[in-house]
Amino acid sequence: MNIYIYIACMAGVTFLIRVLPLTLIRKEIKNKTLRSFLYYVPYVTLSVMTFPAILHATQSPIAAAAALVAGILLAWFGRSLFFVAVSSCVIVFLLELFL
């Protein structure tokens, strides 16, 4: 088995998946249901990916839960993406010193 053929297989399949919709759907979609569906997709998929996966990302699920709650509050009150991301890391690091 050749590692470079493995990499080529992975890259080829992933590239196809990523470019097919962008190249095939050239026009504005008129269908209201489909438009609504595509509007909701990003928020639903990011939410689904965040929870409960975040709880298993760290050593301590409690620290992760605290970071999740803090992140939601910070984002709700308009903090930037960078601020939210760094704050959640700091919270986990500090909490895991004690937990």
Residue 47, C-beta contacts closer than 8 angstroms, at least 6 positions apart: none
66-71, long-range: CB < 8 A, 24+ apart: 66/91, 66/92, 66/95, 67/91, 67/92
- Is residue 29 near other proteins by the rule CB under 8 A? yes
- Closest Cα partner for 89 from 43, 57, 49, 51? 57
Smallest separation, CB 66 to other proteins (Å): 10
Smallest separation, CB 6 to other proteins (Å): 5
Residues 53-82 that bind other proteins (CB under 8 A): 53-54, 57-60, 63-64, 67-68, 71-72, 74-76, 78-82
Residues 5-24 that bind other proteins (CB under 8 A): 5-7, 9-15, 17-23
- Is residue 99 near other proteins by the rule CB under 8 A? no
